[in-house]
Amino acid sequence: MQDTWHTIINLSALEPNDVTQVIYNNQTLAVYDTTDGVFVSDARCTHAGANLCDGYFDGRNIECPLHQGLFDARTGNAKAAPATRSLKMYACRVHDGEVQIKLPHL
């Protein structure tokens, strides 16, 4: 099955330098606006499932609101306990003012 790009939000609707929650196709996504560009992950913390969109974002790292696990928003890598497993990241691009992620053709 071929992957295709799917628009999940307009770039202008993102919180500048912050994390924005987007629900797309029954998936809760965290969209990070960073100085290195836009990145998208699954919003569920890999430790115990808290919604990272409610966490603190410093422009580079997202801190889980429940136990303060820390993830690099650009790579999804876990950086501080109790988080140990990486976030699921989505291939992402900005195209014609829209944030798009790559998903299997629906």
Interface ranges with ligand FES (CB under 6 A)? 45, 47-48, 50, 64, 66-67, 69, 82-83
CB of 68 to ligand FES, least distance (A): 6
**Minimal distance, residue 41 CB to ligand FES, in Å:** 13
Select 23 or 48, whichever has its Cβ closest to ligand FES: 48
What number of other Cβ atoms are within 10 A of residue 70's Cβ? 19
